[in-house]
A and B are shown apart, each in its own frame.
Chain A
Amino acid sequence: MSEIILSAKDIQKSFHDPVDVKILSDITFEINKGEFVSVIGKSGCGKSTLLYILSTMDTEYQGDLFINGQLMRNKKESELAIVRNEYIGFVFQFHYLLNEFNVLENVMLPGLKLNKYSKEEVEHRAMEKLKMLGIANEAFKKASQLSGGQKQRVSIARSLINDPLIIMGDEPTGNLDNKNSLIVFDIFKELAEVYHQTLLIVTHDQSFAANTTRIIEMADGRIIRQ
């Protein structure tokens, strides 16, 4: 019996802008430790919306979300921030690095916020992650000086800094060319196979999804296959 890391029970979500539109219905699934899950579906079917709920950033939904066995409902904003910091690594489509900081500092920030290791240790760990992703040479460059593929690798390094339970990605290769998409995909695969990292990646890239261990397919706000 494998360990359940994330569990969604009957999640519903509507927007009220200007009329009520139901975006997500009856979303129920679990993710076990070590799984490499992809979420696919047509554009506008609610994948991003679901991911924002699962990542605790969006709190306006019905149903229950458990992360690491803890119910997320009724948690305060500051407590959810701690959950995101400690348990979740996030990779966005548009890398979202902080331009005021260099690459190494960008990777270190969530680690410093967690405050579990000393600054030196966090720096050492950040350097390890950058090495693992083959961008250690860029460590002291400003984030804005990197190419798109390099930026995305930096944000993967950042998502890894606190050894999260799960890494979530919202079309992390959506903005990259084929070559860089392949590199990023290989990194995710290596993370899953070598380091048994749990991953939940939203994508519309069929070939990407085909290579993951499990596919959740959505249509019109519902899960139609998992």
Chain B
Amino acid sequence: MSNLLIKIAKELLLARWKQTLVAAIGVTFSISMFVTLLSFMNGLNDLLDGLILNRTAHVRIYNEVKPSKKQVINLSNQYKDSYNFINSVKSSSSRQSIYNTVAIFETLNKDPRILGYAPKINAQVFFTYGTLAITGSINGIEVAAESKLFSFKDYVTAGKAIDLKNVPNSIILGKGLAEKLMANIGDVVQINTTDGNLMPLKVVGVFQSGLKDLDLVQSYTSVATAQKLMGKSNNYLTDIQVKLKDINQAPKIAKEYALLFDCDAEDIQTANSQFETGSTVRTIISYAVGVVLLIVAGFGIFNILNMLIYEKMDTIAILKATGFSGMDVKKIFIYIALSIGIFGGLFGIIFGFGFSVIIDNIPFNTPSLPTIKTFPINYKSTYYIIGIIFSMVTTYMAGFFPARKASKIDPVTIIRGK
């Protein structure tokens, strides 16, 4: 039965194939734009997120410098029942390092939710090169873990990341910092710690994160060198950066670890909340543009169906006179609208994919993003599925009212009118 209606719909559609084609091209255009825009915008989102998020620990375990919550007097039995006012509480600077790192590593190794972790030592230092002294910070890292989890070696633009490990007493400087110090690979820079220790380190590479401010102050060395520099033992660590399998679990796991290890733990969502907002706005813009384009295409379909119905009054009257119900007529016109939607949408996602591939191959070189060679595109299948669903929904809505009008045509008026 519905086969018959589809066949009738097909014949009516073919009888006006030029107009139908125009309508379908409208849908194709909107859907391809929609898919391209969404892929591109989300590619950009991924890129910008990657700039920070990929290089940031999902959970960072550290020990914040802050006054102790448990003041001695409150623990004393003698003054248990009295109000104790303590003025000018200061934090004791004794330990910035994390306690009991061995036990923490053991726990992390066993936790199935964890992708990996990288230990780190962060310290404020002065760099001296000739007469110049510049404040900055030095990060003691494990190159292999840092590269695997946070793509460290992708951002080393000159020299080799692995030399940090292979060359004793070596350092990789941020690009801005290296320029300020006028230090090239092979040069030696002097590092002064805040405690007064002094140590010469050999430059083995230059690092470019894409964030200029960061590159002006950051430098990297190995964990062992950092420990030596600080004059600490070989279990001294200030941070443990944990990467999770599921980033969304970070807030929960951070809380859990803070309790378990009796230290501070910060999740990535808290640390970088502003990035969410940017991504959301870009996504909303792409959807809005896509929907507007589709509405325009929808009006095109609406017009063409109205015209078709006007032209096919006789056909509709005769179908009704020979036993087709209003519902049958309505279905015929809905089928016409939907087939415009399906074909238009299908070609739309094909073209959308094509445009995405083209954009993906346009060179995009910027000094601040050394790893990016072309414009970013996200080829998520969701956008294509949404595109098809959108095209069907719009064409259905555009077809609905004309189809209902057709179903209500009174055959007597048409036949008598001749």
- The chain A residues found within 8 Å of chain B, CB to CB, are 48, 52, 55, 57-58, 77-78, 81-82, 84-86, 90, 92-94, 96-101, 109-110, 112-115, 158, 170
Q: Provide the B311-335 mask, 1 if CB < 8 A to any CB of A, else 0.
A: 0001101111111111110000000
Q: Chain A residues near B415 (CB, 8 Å)?
A: 52, 57, 92, 96, 170
Q: Smallest Cβ distance from A159 to chain B, in angstroms? A: 8
Given contacts A81-B325, A90-B321, A113 and B412 within 8 Å (CB-CB): no
Chain A CB within 8 A of B4 CB: yes
Pairwise interchain contact A85-B322, C-beta atoms closer than 8 A: yes
Query: Of B4, B8, B416, B418, which one neighbours A52 at CB under 8 angstroms?
Result: B416
Given contacts A57-B320, A77-B325, A78-B326, contact A112 B4 (CB under 8 A): yes
Determine the chain B residues whose CB is within 8 A of the CB of A114 once the complex forms.
323
Bound Cα distance A48, B417 (Å): 12
Our pick among B8, B326, B418 for the contact of A77 (Cβ within 8 Å) is B326
How far is B318's CA from A110's CA once the two chains are assembled, in angstroms? Answer: 10
Q: How far apart are the CA atoms of A113 and B59 in the complex, in Å?
A: 67
A87 closest partner in B (C-beta): B323
Q: Are B321's CB and A55's CB within 8 A?
A: yes
Q: Which residues from A are CB-within-8-Å of B1?
A: 113, 115
Is B11 engaged at the interface, CB distance under 8 Å to the other chain? yes
Q: Does B12 contact A (CB under 8 A)?
A: yes
Which of A96, A101, A110 sits near B323, CB closer than 8 Å?
A110
Cβ contact within 8 Å between A96 and B412: no
Given A92-B415, A96-B415, A115-B1, residue A84 in contact with residue B323 (CB < 8 A)? yes
Which residue of chain B has the shortest Cβ distance to A175 in the bound complex? B418
A-B contact pairs, 19 of them (CB 8 A): A48-B416, A52-B412, A52-B416, A78-B325, A81-B320, A81-B325, A81-B326, A84-B323, A92-B418, A93-B418, A96-B321, A97-B318, A100-B15, A100-B315, A109-B8, A109-B319, A109-B322, A113-B4, A115-B4
B:368-418 near A, CB below 8 Å: 410-412, 415-416, 418
Most chain B C-beta atoms within 10 Å of own C-beta, residue among A86, A112, A113: A113
Q: A100-B12, A100-B315 are in contact. Are A86 and B323 (CB under 8 A)?
A: yes
Residue on A with the closest CB to B321?
A90
Residues of B6-27 contacting chain A, CB below 8 A: 8, 11-12, 14-15
B317 touches A113 (CB 8 A): no
Q: Are A84 and B315 in contact (CB under 8 A)?
A: no
Q: Is the CB of A84 within 8 A of B322?
A: yes
Extra contacts besides A84-B322, A98-B319, A113-B328 (20): CB < 8 Å:
A48-B416, A52-B415, A78-B325, A78-B327, A81-B320, A81-B325, A81-B326, A84-B323, A85-B323, A90-B322, A94-B418, A96-B321, A98-B318, A99-B15, A100-B12, A100-B15, A109-B319, A114-B323, A115-B1, A158-B322
Given contacts A48-B416, A100-B12, contact A81 B318 (CB under 8 A): no
